[in-house]
C-alpha cells in the first residue's frame, strides 16, 4: 500500500503555538495511518488533553494517544534516557508504547552533548540545555552516533515504510528555523514543512499544511527581537499570566508581545500554509485587550475581538493566496471550530 497523501502541521511563530492540540484533534479523527515527527529533539514539548486529562510529551508524536503508529524521523535527535522516561510515562498512563518507532538514522544526544550545551550555549544563546545543537553539530561533522547503533533501541526501530494517510507534526516554529529565524537565536533544525520530506516521501504528496499560531506572540529564551523590557509591560504581563505562558520543556517564563501580522504573513507564504489556526483567542477576551503589530512596528488597537478578527482575516486573505481557511480557537482542549465541514473536506 502506497502513501495516499501527507498533511503537515507546522508552527508559524516561535513555538508554543498549540500544535499539540491541533495534531491531537486531527489524530482523533481516525483519518491517519501514521503520525510523524520530522525534526528536533526533547527540546520541544506538546501539551495534549485526552478525555480532559492533560498529558505532556517532548519527543514522541501525538498519535500515541489514539493508537496510531508514531514515528520519530531521521532528522530528529534522541536522548535515550529521556526517551525511555517518556515511554514509561506513557505506558503507566495506559498507552500502547509498541506503536512508537524511531528511524535508525536519527542521531543520539549524548551526555557530552549536554555538557557542552550547558557550558557553551545555554547562557549565550538561551538554549534549553538539552544537547541539541552539539548533537546536530556532530551529525553534520559526520562523527555522530545513530539510533541503529544502539541495541537498547532495537525494539523501537522503524522499518522506514509509510502508507495510507500521513500526518506530520512540527516542533518549534517558523521564526526559530535555522535559516529564517533571528540567527543565532534559533533552533538547530529545519522547522519548515519541507523538512518533513526527510521521512522519505515526495513533496508532491503533500496535501494540506496547517499553520499554527497564537493571537499574540511569545518567545522562550534569549532573542534580541524579544527584549527583556517586554517583562516591564503591564498589559503583556497580564496576558502572560492569564495564558499561563511557561515552557513545557523548561518551565521558563515566556516573553509576550503583540501579534506581528507582517511576520505572520511571511511565515504563511513561505510555508505554503493552506489552513491557519489561531489559538488563545479566549486569553485576549479575558483580559479585554486587543492589539497587534502592523507594518513599521505600528501597534493597532481594536475595541473588541470581532474587530481584531475582521482585520486579521481581511489582510491575510489579501496577502496569502494559498489560505483556504482561517480558524480562531478559544479552547485549550480542541480547535473548537464551529465549521463542521473543516474536518470533512480538508483531512
Give the catalytic positions in this structure. 16, 46
Q: Are 53 and 41 in contact (CB under 8 A)?
A: no
For the stretch 326-337, pLDDT in tens is: 999 998 888 975
Average pLDDT over residues 269-298: 97
- What residues does 168 pair with on adjacent strands? 8, 36
Model pTM greater than 0.85? yes
**pLDDT score at 104:** 98
What confidence tier does 122 reach under pLDDT thresholds 50, 70, 90?
Answer: confident
Give the confidence band of 129 by pLDDT, cuts at 50, 70, 90: confident
Write the pLDDT tens digit of every residue in 216-259.
999 988 899 999 999 999 999 999 999 999 877 667 789 999 99
pLDDT band at 347 (very low <50, low <70, confident <90, very high): very low
Task: Using DSSP bridges, classify how beta strands 325-328 and 107-109 pair: parallel, antiparallel or unpaired.
Answer: unpaired
For 4-21, write each residue's pLDDT tens digit.
999 999 999 999 999 999
**pLDDT of res. 244:** 92
Query: What average pLDDT does range 44-53 have in this prediction?
Result: 87
Choice among 18-22, 47-51, 115-119, 310-314 with the minimum mean pLDDT: 47-51
Angle at 202 between CA 78 and CA 27, to 5 degrees: 60
By the 10 Å C-beta count (0-12 exposed, 13-18 middle, 19+ buried), 155 is classed as exposed
**CA distance linking residue 323 with residue 203, whole number of Å:** 18
Stretch 290-297: mean pLDDT: 95
pLDDT at 344 over 70: no
The pLDDT assigned to 249 comes to: 67
Q: Which of 172-181, 250-259, 287-296, 323-332 has the lowest mean pLDDT?
A: 250-259
- Residue 288, classified by CB atoms within 10 Å of its CB into exposed (0-12), middle (13-18) or buried (19+), is exposed
pLDDT tier, 82 (very low <50, low <70, confident <90, very high otherwise): very high
342 has pLDDT over 70: no
pLDDT (average), residues 188-192: 95
* Domains with residue ranges and CATH for the chain: 3-345 (3.40.440.10)
Q: Which residues pair with 5 in a beta bridge?
A: 165
As a whole number of angstroms, the distance between CA 12 and CA 265 comes to 9
pLDDT at 78: 98
Q: Which residue has the higher pLDDT, 253 or 44?
A: 253
Mean pLDDT of 257-273: 98
Tell me the per-residue pLDDT of 131-163, one tens digit each, with 9 for 90 and over: 999 999 999 999 999 999 999 999 999 999 999
Predicted confidence band at 339 (pLDDT cuts at 50, 70, 90)? Answer: very low
For residue 333, what pLDDT is reported? 84
Query: DSSP code of 111?
Result: H
Distance CA 79, CA 337 (A): 36
List pLDDT tens digits, range 194-224.
999 999 999 999 999 999 999 999 998 889 9
343 pLDDT above the threshold of 90: no
- What is the spatial distance between Cα 276 and Cα 11, in angstroms, rounded to a whole number? 10
| DSSP code per residue over 286-340 | HHT--EEE-GGG-EEE-SSHHHHHHHHHHHHHHH-TT--EEEE---SSS---S-T
Amino acid at each position: 500500500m502506497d502513501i495516499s497523501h501527507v498533511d503537515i502541521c507546522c508552527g508559524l511563530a516561535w513555538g508554543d503555538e498549540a500544535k499539540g492540540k491541533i495534531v491531537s484533534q486531527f489524530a482523533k479523527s481516525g483519518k491517519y495511518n501514521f503520525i510523524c515527527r520530522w525534526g528536533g529533539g526533547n527540546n520541544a514539548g506538546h501539551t495534549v488533553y485526552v478525555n480532559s486529562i492533560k498529558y505532556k510529551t517532548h519527543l514522541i508524536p501525538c498519535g500515541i494517544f489514539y493508537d496510531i503508529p508514531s514515528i520519530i524521523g531521521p532528522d530528529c535527535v534522541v536522548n535515550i534516557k529521556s526517551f525511555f522516561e517518556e515511554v514509561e510515562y506513557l505506558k503507566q498512563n495506559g498507552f500502547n508504547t509498541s506503536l512508537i518507532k524511531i528511524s535508525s538514522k536519527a542521531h543520539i544526544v549524548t551526555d557530552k552533548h549536554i555538557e557542552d550545551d550547558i557550558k557553551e550555549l545555554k547562557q549565550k544563546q538561551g538554549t534549553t540545555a538539552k544537547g541539541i545543537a552539539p548533537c546536530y553539530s556532530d551529525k553534520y561533522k559526520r562523527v555522530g552516533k545513530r539510533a541503529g547503533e544502539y541495541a537498547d533501541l532495537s525494539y523501537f526501530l522503524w522499518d522506514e515504510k509509510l502508507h495510507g494517510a500521513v500526518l506530520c507534526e512540527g516542533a518549534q516554529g517558523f521564526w526559530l528555523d535555522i535559516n529564517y529565524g533571528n540567527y543565532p537565536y534559533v533552533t538547530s533544525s529545519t522547522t519548515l514543512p519541507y523538512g518533513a520530506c526527510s521521512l522519505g516521501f515526495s513533496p508532491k504528496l503533500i496535501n494540506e499544511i496547517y499553520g499554527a499560531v497564537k493571537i499574540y506572540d511569545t518567545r522562550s529564551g534569549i532573542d534580541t527581537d524579544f527584549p527583556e523590557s517586554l517583562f516591564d509591560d503591564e498589559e503583556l504581563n497580564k496576558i502572560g499570566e492569564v495564558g499561563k505562558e511557561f515552557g513545557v520543556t523548561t518551565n521558563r517564563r515566556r516573553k509576550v508581545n503583540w501579534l506581528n501580522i507582517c511576520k505572520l504573513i511571511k511565515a504563511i507564504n513561505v510555508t505554503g500554509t493552506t489552513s491557519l489556526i489561531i489559538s488563545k483567542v479566549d486569553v485576549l477576551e479575558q483580559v479585554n485587550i486587543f492589539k497587534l503589530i502592523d507594518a513599521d512596528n505600528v501597534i493597532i488597537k481594536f475595541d473588541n475581538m470581532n474587530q481584531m478578527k475582521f482585520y486579521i482575516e481581511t489582510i491575510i486573505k489579501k496577502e496569502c493566496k494559498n489560505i483556504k481557511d482561517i480558524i480562531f480557537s478559544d479552547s485549550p482542549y480542541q480547535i473548537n471550530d464551529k465549521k463542521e465541514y473543516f474536518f470533512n473536506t480538508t483531512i
